């Protein structure tokens, strides 16, 4: 989910779209790239689902100091923008002074505060190796060279900025991860408002995807991932810029916008999967935050089902007792986002409609038939 560096692509947007479209139409349309990634993700899901089988400890004797509601967040009503900005500025200003005091040694950090007290690690090298193995096994996303270069640079930047700070890194990435779905829905509203095209079912799926990423974000906030003002400042400002750039990219090519998100979500599977493997025992000792339990185990799970277009509704009901369960679930969620982005690219390319999994199977069969016809035509053209 290193999507923030895609901001630089706006300058090359018009030059970017035409070569990418030509590249997609001239390659053989066997869809091996998407199928390979899907197979690898399915294997990762099976691996992560078996994690608990080798874990003996499921609870902790000491309840961590999870953050249920940060004091610098939100208000009690949707007030005018100037009022909200003023209130937020004052609250954020207090946290700036606290961060400066800690950095200068004038104020002591609470040793029991999260995320520092959780004792969790993430190796950048291990994540890179997991990604290399996935791509070597046929799971490389067929991204445009410009997207790939921006992505690689972003990886290096994040590895440096959040080295040995995995929860803060996850929080930053989840802030960014919601932005594409905001952008997709905004552009679909624009298309409909102009009378160009209407896709309410696609908007519905994107809303469910954003709802999923929101809960990933809330989980990271409960774990203290946004405790530093500097991380919040960077995350929010990158997100705003990224939103407008994605609108431009989507305007010229929805398929490219979806393709880049597939690249990021595939990396998220590698990142969260590696994190689970490296922290398995410790995660099994820590309880799940209330927000995670609420999202995965109780309440209305309609939207939880709705973003997983390849999974029948009410068939995935994961455990959520420990942080091991939580991060396993998040890794599997990211794999489902990859599959949905692949389906959205097919929708943009050949009209293979993406609909809520709560609908009947008629649309799925129709979409598959369209894809088969399109693939046959392109493969036949490639022979000449």
Q: 61 falls in which pLDDT band (50, 70, 90)? A: very low
pTM of the model: 0.81
Q: Which one has a higher pLDDT value, 90 or 292?
A: 292
Q: 362 falls in which pLDDT band (50, 70, 90)? A: low
Q: How far apart are CA 14 and CA 253, in angstroms?
A: 10
Q: What percent of the chain has pLDDT over 70?
A: 76
pLDDT value of position 344: 93
Residue 28: is its pLDDT beyond 50?
A: no
Residue 74 Rama label (left phi>0; alpha psi -120 to 50; beta): left
pLDDT value of position 25: 38
Q: 155 falls in which pLDDT band (50, 70, 90)? A: confident
- How far, in whole angstroms, is CA 277 from its chain's centroid? 19
Q: How far apart are CA 307 and CA 302, in angstroms?
A: 9
pLDDT value of position 158: 87
Average pLDDT over residues 200-208: 93
Residue 337: is its pLDDT beyond 60?
A: yes
Q: How far apart are CA 319 and CA 308, in angstroms?
A: 17
pLDDT value of position 10: 36
Q: Which one has a higher pLDDT value, 59 or 181?
A: 181
């Amino acid at each position: 989910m290193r999507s923030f560096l895609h901001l630089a692509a706006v300058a090359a947007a018009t030059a970017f779209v035409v070569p990418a479209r030509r590249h997609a139409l001239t390659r053989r349309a066997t869809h091996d790239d998407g199928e390979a990634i899907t197979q690898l993700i399915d294997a990762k899901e099976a691996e992560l689902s078996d994690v608990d089988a080798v874990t003996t400890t499921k609870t902790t004797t000491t309840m961590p100091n999870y953050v249920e509601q940060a004091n610098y967040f939100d208000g009690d009503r949707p007030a005018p923008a100037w009022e909200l900005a003023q209130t937020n500025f004052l609250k954020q200003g207090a946290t700036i002074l606290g961060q400066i005091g800690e950095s200068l040694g004038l104020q002591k950090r609470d040793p029991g505060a999260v995320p520092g007290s959780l004792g969790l690690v993430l190796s950048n090298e291990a994540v890179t190796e997991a990604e290399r193995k996935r791509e070597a096994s046929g799971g490389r996303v067929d991204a445009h060279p410009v997207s790939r270069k921006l992505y690689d640079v972003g990886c290096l930047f994040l590895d440096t900025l959040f080295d040995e700070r995995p929860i803060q890194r996850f929080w930053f990435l989840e802030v960014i991860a919601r932005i594409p779905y905001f952008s997709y829905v905004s552009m679909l509203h624009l298309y409909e408002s102009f009378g160009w095209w209407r896709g309410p079912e696609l908007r519905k799926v994107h809303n469910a995807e954003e709802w999923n990423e929101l809960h990933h974000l809330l989980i990271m906030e409960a774990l203290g991932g946004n405790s530093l003002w500097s991380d919040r400042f960077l995350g929010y400002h990158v997100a705003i810029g990224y939103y407008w750039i994605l609108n431009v990219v989507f305007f010229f090519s929805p398929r490219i916008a979806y393709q880049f998100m597939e690249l990021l979500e595939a990396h998220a599977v590698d990142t969260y999967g590696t994190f689970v493997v490296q922290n398995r025992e410790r995660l099994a000792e820590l309880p799940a935050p209330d927000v995670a339990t609420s999202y995965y185990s109780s309440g209305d799970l309609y939207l939880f089902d709705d973003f997983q277009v390849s999974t029948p509704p009410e068939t995935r009901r994961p455990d959520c007792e420990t942080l091991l369960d939580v991060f396993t679930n998040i890794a599997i969620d990211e794999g489902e986002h990859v599959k949905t982005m692949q389906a959205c690219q097919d929708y943009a390319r050949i009209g293979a409609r993406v609909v809520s999994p709560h609908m009947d199977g008629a649309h799925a069969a129709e979409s598959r038939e369209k894809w088969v016809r399109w693939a046959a035509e392109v493969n036949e053209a490639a022979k000449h």
